[in-house]
Each structure stands twice: as C-alpha cells, then as structure tokens.
Amino acid sequence: MATRAPRKALEAVPAPVTGARLVVEALEREGVRHLFGYPGGAIMPVYDALPGSKLQHILVRHEQGAALAADAYGRVTGQPGVCIATSGPGATNLVTGIANAFLDSVPLVAITGQVATPLIGTDAFQEVDIFGITLPIVKHSFVIRRTEDIPQVFADAFRIARSGRPGPVLIDLPKDMGVKAVVPAEIRPHVEAVEAPEAALIAEANALIAEARAPILYFGGGIAIARAERALRAFAARAGIPSVATLKGLGGIPTDDAAFLGMLGMHGMRAANIAIDNCDLLICIGARFDDRATGKADTFAPNARIIHLDGDAAEIGKLRRADVGIAGDIVQAMDLLTAIPRCAAWRDQCLRQKAMWAMDYDAPGNGVYAPALLKTLSEAAPDNTIFTCDVGQHQMWVAQHCRFSRPQAHLTSAGLGTMGYGIPAGIGALLADPSATVITVSGDGSIMMNIQELATIRRYRLPLKIVLLDNAQLGMVRQWQELFFDRNFSEIDLSDNPDFAEVARAFGIEAFTIDHRSEVAGAVARLLGTNGPILCHVRIDPRENVWPLVPPNSSNVEMMEKAR
C-alpha cells in the first residue's frame, strides 16, 4: 500500500499589529532608550502603546524643550535623539529645535502626530502642514501613507539622520495610521558605502604641508560629528602645527593643550586671529568658513594656501576656494597626512603671542567677574563635565574661559543661536550620560525662554547645575547698541526680572544668590558638591562686555579690546 507524503506544516501568519505598536517596536529596534515629548490628540495612539515598552519617555513642559533636549542627546551619544509631539501647535513648537539641529548637523528624529488621512487638507482641528513647514530645515521628511511601511520608514529615518553629514529627519504620522492594525512589510537592509580619500589629493596635501613654514590647523564641528578627536590630535602632534577652533570645534584638541591658540573669529582670541592672518598654509578640517569665524571673508588668511577636509563635499569650495579639497572620511584622510612641515620657529612665535595676549582676570571692583567665575568653575569641575550654554554674552564667556577636553563637553547652539537651549540641553546631556557632571550656563534673558523645564528637572531628579549670570538686561544686544548704535539702548531692560533663586525654589530646586567675588569659591564648592539639581544666581555688572570683538564687516585682526 502506497504511503502518503506528509503535509507541509502551515506557515504561521504573523498577527496584525497596530501602527502605534510598530512605532514603539521600531524605536526599540534602533536602540532608543529615551524620547522627549508631550502628548496630544493626534499622537495619542503612540502614547497608548508606550507603557510596558523599553522606552523611557521624558515629559517636558513645552515641545521646544523636547526638541532641544533631543538635540543635546544626539550630540553626546552620536546617535539620533528622538522627540515626539502631537499635530498643530505640538508640531510647530518643535520647529525651532529641528532648525537648531539642522544648522549644527545634529542627528535627530522628530515624530509628529497628524490628523487622520481623510481629514488632511480640510483645515481640520490642529491640522498644519508640518511636512511643508519644515522642508528647509530637515535632511529628509516622511509622511506615513501605509501603516505597513512604518518599520521601513523608521529604519530609513534613523539611517539618514546619522549617516554622512547628520541632521534632523521628520516623520509625520496620521492618527489613523497609528490605529490601524496590519501585518508589517519586511525591512529592506541598506549598506552605506564610504569612499576612501583619493591618493592623488592626499599626495597634493602632503606636498603643501611639507612646503609650509607657517601652517595653522583650523578645525570645527565636523570633528565631533565624525568622532575624529583621536585622529585630529595625532595629526596635530605629529606635524607640530598650532591649532585654532570654531565655537563648535572647541574640545577637538583639549583647550589646555600648549599649541592650541584658542577660538578664532568674532569673539576669538587675539593669538588665534593673528596666527590665521599670518599663516602660509591653512588646514581646515570639519569647518565651513562661517562668517562668525572668518570675519570679512576676503581678508581671512590672505596669504595662505588652503587644504580643506570635510565630510560634506558641498562645503568644499562653497565659501573659499581650496587648493586641495578632500571630501569623505576625515579620520582616514588625517591618518594619511604624514608630511612634517619645518615650522618650529613659527610655532614658537605663536606660543609667545598666546602668552603675551593671555586673558587678564584681575578685574576692578568687588563684584563677580563672570570670566573669572567660569574659569574657576571649569578648573574645579571634574574631567567628565559637560557644559551646556544658552545664547548671549555668557555663551562667549564660556567658550573663551572654560576648559574642554572633548567636543561633547561643550554643547552650544552655534548656527541658529537659540536662546533657551541651555536647560533642555542639560536635561538631554544628563540622560545621555548619567555619569557626567552637567553644568548649564544661562543668562537672565535666555533662561526665561524655557524656564518651565525646571519642572522636568525636578520630576526626574536630574542633578543639573545651573549658573545664571544676571545683568538685568539683554547683554549682547546692549553691547552692540553701545558700540554700533550710538548707545541707543532700545528694549534691552530686564530690571523687572523675578528673583530667580526664589523661582527655582518654587520649582523644588535648591538655589542661592551671590554678588560679591569673595563668594565665588564657596559658590563653586556648593555647586559641585550638591548631589541634586541646584541653581546659582549670579548678579554681575550690567556694563561688562565680551572682549575681544571683531566689528561687523571687518577683518579678524581689527579686534576691539577691553581698555586696560
């Protein structure tokens, strides 16, 4: 009797999964641990799927705080920070943070709820075209049209956000796409191809380096993006070349390195700007010849040949023609730059000028001198400290006077100049690296932009140290009105500020106030010795300016300096 062949076992059919659950699973698959957000109607299905997941949601008190915290998280980890908001005002409140990440090339994924698909284009409640609004300030955008595409969209969004020149990616999720249950489509893998530097270009660069007698290494935020600190430091030490940094480049080479001349540009160090003016070779790595760094562009490094290395080919030649331009993997390119210039005399000259033009911290009077306070705090802080800054005079003082051992130790809004960045950035930095000591330096103007996030600090017991420099005015605007607008002080008076120490205590945060330089040492010890969050309110002289300063449309060597 013939025997029958066994029946093939029926393949198990995957159970349908809601779009919201697919969103949560996609975030988990990308290794996301924290997301920053604020719930609302259109995004509610995702919030319904969050409980029980591996994700810790951080409830901020304003969506802008979510985007800025995610920005800082991305800077510290090198992986996309994630923020989430509902449609309409929730989405539009993310816009400043998205723009901040775009201009500083920070990996970020922003998830916005949207009205249900049938309502799109009907002026429904809380409907805005966030896809269209953010087109100029994102690296890429997605609108979910089919629920089954969610896993692929999220995989692509994270890949795009962190690859090449990083940046923000927007995912707009209509409410019905989050509710619908489907069998998801498989994720198609994507392999990134990284091209090696061209041997001919490396040879040309090495030839220029070998010929140079007065070279300068000029580096920027691309060092942090590429995690290229090791290669940069090895190249600088091997070649013996003095270096300068942009605002975002600070820490690429430790700021206390003997051959580091300081930040260049509008508020840069005299030694840095003079060295750029006199160099015969400018080696630009991960910087983009930004106007704040170069001053009047046609007077910047006027006698220098230029080697430009950057991860983004679009930056090479955009603002300054390079004699040798190398795009792609800057770590690999730096490792191949092995020529040694004969520049010992030039290096000695640069170091003498650095010592001769060193900052003077002996200010007159008994008040707190902000640069001296920040220098003292920075020197007392542990090596794992991260400074996050708001925008204004205090931002420049931090850049000039604090020490940074790595780029991730200095988080600042460089391209957009976003007031209100400091406290949300401090939150993001602490969650990204809980072992770090995180210090936010803010001003009395900036802190009011996102002061509601003190509640977030309290809720999650984040030990953020806040130094608030209070001059009862918009200090940087006042400085420019004093110097360039005939002292016409228009709308800069903040003398009706609240007592910020009392405000912090009302949020449940320890706080104290100082206004005399004799109190500085005790304040620093208290800040660094307190386990929980703490705010030090520092009243400073409202007439104090940031020096040096390069006037607008001037060469970097035309620096205005404080009268001695």
Do residues 330 and 210 both lie within one domain?
yes
Do residues 75 and 210 both lie within one domain?
no
- Catalytic-residue membership of 125: yes
pLDDT on residue 562? 84
Q: Is residue 550 part of a domain?
A: no
| Helix (H) or strand (E) segment spanning residue 19 | helix 19-29
Q: Could you say which of 28, 54, 56, 125 is catalytic?
A: 125
When pLDDT is averaged across residues 500-514 and rounded to a whole number, the result is: 98
How far apart are the C-alpha atoms of 239 and 259, rounded to whole Å? 11
Question: 3-class DSSP state for residue 75?
Answer: helix
Q: Where do the DSSP E strands lie in 195-353? A: 215-219, 243-245, 260-263, 281-285, 305-310, 324-327
Q: What is the pLDDT of residues 367-386, one digit of tens each?
A: 999 999 999 999 999 999 99
- At residue 82, what are phi and psi to the nearest 5 degrees? -125, 130
Q: Is residue 311 part of a domain?
A: yes
Do residues 40 and 147 both lie within one domain?
yes
Q: Is residue 193 part of a domain?
A: no
Position 86 confidence tier, pLDDT thresholds 50, 70, 90: very high
pLDDT on residue 496? 96
Q: Where do the DSSP E strands lie in 431-509? A: 438-443, 465-470
Measured CA angle at 419 (ends 408, 73), to 5 deg? 30
Q: Could you say which of 126, 349, 452, 481 is catalytic?
A: 126
CB 393 within 8 A of CB 374: no
Q: How many domains does the chain have?
A: 3
How far apart are the C-alpha atoms of 362 and 372, rounded to whole Å? 8
Q: Is residue 552 part of a domain?
A: no
* CATH number, domain containing residue 302: 3.40.50.1220
* CATH number, domain containing residue 403: 3.40.50.970
* Residue 50 clears pLDDT 70, i.e. is over it: yes
How far apart are the C-alpha atoms of 123 and 306, rounded to whole Å? 53
The reported pTM is: 0.95
pLDDT on residue 11? 60
Structure tokens given for 499 = 């007592």
Do residues 178 and 210 both lie within one domain?
no
* Residue 306 clears pLDDT 60, i.e. is over it: yes
Q: Of 324, 356, 388, which marks where a domain is finished?
A: 356
How far apart are the C-alpha atoms of 236 and 351, rounded to whole Å? 15
Q: What is the pLDDT of residues 227-264, one digit of tens each?
A: 999 999 999 999 999 999 999 999 999 999 999 999 99
Do residues 509 and 401 both lie within one domain?
yes
The burial of 461, by beta-carbon neighbours within 10 Å (0-12 exposed, 13-18 middle, 19 or more buried), is given as: exposed
When pLDDT is averaged across residues 3-32 and rounded to a whole number, the result is: 81
- At residue 63, what are phi and psi to the nearest 5 degrees? -60, -30
In which domain, by residue range, is 333 found? 199-356
Q: What is the pLDDT of residues 428-444, one digit of tens each?
A: 999 999 999 999 999 99
Position 184 confidence tier, pLDDT thresholds 50, 70, 90: confident
Q: Of 327, 356, 385, which marks where a domain is finished?
A: 356
Q: What is the pLDDT of residues 402-414, one digit of tens each?
A: 999 999 999 999 9
How much of the chain exceeds pLDDT 70, in percent?
98
**Residues near 11 by Cβ (< 8 Å), separated by ≥ 6?**
none
Q: Could you say which of 25, 30, 36, 63 is catalytic?
A: 63
- Catalytic-residue membership of 476: yes
Mean predicted lDDT score pLDDT of the chain:
95
Structure tokens given for 456 = 């977030």
DSSP string, 216-241: EEEE-THHHHTT-HHHHHHHHHHHT-
Do residues 388 and 533 both lie within one domain?
yes
Do residues 214 and 276 both lie within one domain?
yes
Q: Could you say which of 263, 334, 396, 476 is catalytic?
A: 476
Do residues 38 and 122 both lie within one domain?
yes
Do residues 346 and 408 both lie within one domain?
no
When pLDDT is averaged across residues 55-76 and rounded to a whole number, the result is: 98
Q: Could you say which of 30, 36, 64, 175 is catalytic?
A: 175
Q: Of 298, 331, 356, which marks where a domain is finished?
A: 356
The burial of 366, by beta-carbon neighbours within 10 Å (0-12 exposed, 13-18 middle, 19 or more buried), is given as: exposed
* Residue 560 clears pLDDT 70, i.e. is over it: yes
Q: Closest by alpha carbon to 445, among 425, 417, 426?
A: 417
- Catalytic-residue membership of 175: yes
How far apart are the C-alpha atoms of 158 and 156, rounded to whole Å? 6
Do residues 435 and 528 both lie within one domain?
yes
- Catalytic-residue membership of 126: yes
Position 563 confidence tier, pLDDT thresholds 50, 70, 90: confident
pLDDT on residue 189? 86
Q: Is residue 86 part of a domain?
A: yes
Q: What is the pLDDT of residues 128-164, one digit of tens each?
A: 999 999 999 999 999 999 999 999 999 999 999 999 9
Q: How would you list the strands of the sheet with 410-411, edge to edge?
A: 410-411, 386-389, 438-443, 465-470, 534-539, 510-514
Q: Is residue 555 part of a domain?
A: no
Q: Is residue 564 part of a domain?
A: no
Q: Is residue 554 part of a domain?
A: no
Do residues 398 and 488 both lie within one domain?
yes
How far apart are the C-alpha atoms of 494 and 272, rounded to whole Å? 34
DSSP letter (8 states) at residue 149? G
Peptide bond into 107 cis (omega under 30): no
The burial of 363, by beta-carbon neighbours within 10 Å (0-12 exposed, 13-18 middle, 19 or more buried), is given as: middle
* Residue 1 clears pLDDT 50, i.e. is over it: no
Q: 63-77 and 95-103 are packed helices; what angle lies between their axes, rounded to 10 degrees?
A: 30
DSSP string, 358-416: PPP---SSSSB-HHHHHHHHHHHS-TT-EEEE-SSHHHHHHHHHS--SSGGGEE---SS
Do residues 47 and 175 both lie within one domain?
yes
